[in-house]
Amino acid sequence: MIYDSWMIAVERIARVRVLRLENGPDNALSLALLAELRDAIAEAAADPGTRCLVLASGTPRYFSMGIDLKEFSRLPAARRAEPFLTLLSVYRSLRELPKPTLAAIGGSAILGGWILAMGCDFRLLTEEGRIALSEIRFGLSPTPVLLRRLRGMSASPTLLKDLVLRGRTLRAPEALAGGFVDRVVPAPALLQEALRAAKSLSQQAPAAYAAVKAGLAEEDDALWRRSRAEFSRLFRLPEVQKSLAALSGKRRTRWED
């Protein structure tokens, strides 16, 4: 069964529900797309027939390049934090979904795109894929909640520091070596391998999986409040506003000035 919303295609394959981002060419995360995605995750949570959720992309080169910068530049100043805070709420809905989740990352997952992938329990990345969480380049922090999640994933302190302290983009072999993805697969096999893994996950005992997933999570309400407060504090700084204006204009921020 397949049905499409505005920017997300939803497909049910047995007990697996696939949410495919369809906001080409680079799956920019607009407020409308994020709202649709949050609703689709809520529908999956409420559907007893959905036993595993797969988040994928309808474009081969990009999983998502992050927040829609064109939309961001048009927002009034008072609303410019909204896309980032909405993205964090979608990430939280993935983390708190009491069912298995898997990200099938075709191509690049950059900034907000990688945050969505981080929200899933498992991640498959194509051989040509790249990941980045380079908020530091724009004067921002990924926030404590995401940094804690990354520390829990990481098998390499060096690559973790490269990712978040240097803002470096990691290619597939490094993402795998760092523990940030579970497998690297050829692009033509991505969906097939994702569905195979999802089918296996859908056969887990639902209540037990939900309990173990909740037990592994370390993202309590206090951490979420601290993360939102830290983001809001940094976001208001003049240097961040200057940086984001440069980003919208596709200019590089020079912090040494």
In the 3-class helix/strand/coil scheme, how is the chain assigned residue by residue? CEEECCCEEEEEECCEEEEEECCCCCCCECHHHHHHHHHHHHHHHHCCCCCEEEEEECCCCEEECCECHHHHHHCCHHHCCHHHHHHHHHHHHHHHCCCCEEEEECCEEECHHHHHHHCCCEEEEECCCEEECCHHHHCCCCCHHHHHHHHHHCCCHHHHHHHHCCCCCEEHHHHHHCCCCCEEECHHHHHHHHHHHHHHHHCCCHHHHHHHHHHHCCCCHHHHHHHHHHHHHHHCCHHHHHHHHHHHCCCCCCCCC
135, 218, 219, 256: which one is catalytic? 135
Known catalytic residue at 135: yes
Catalytically active residues, by annotation: 135
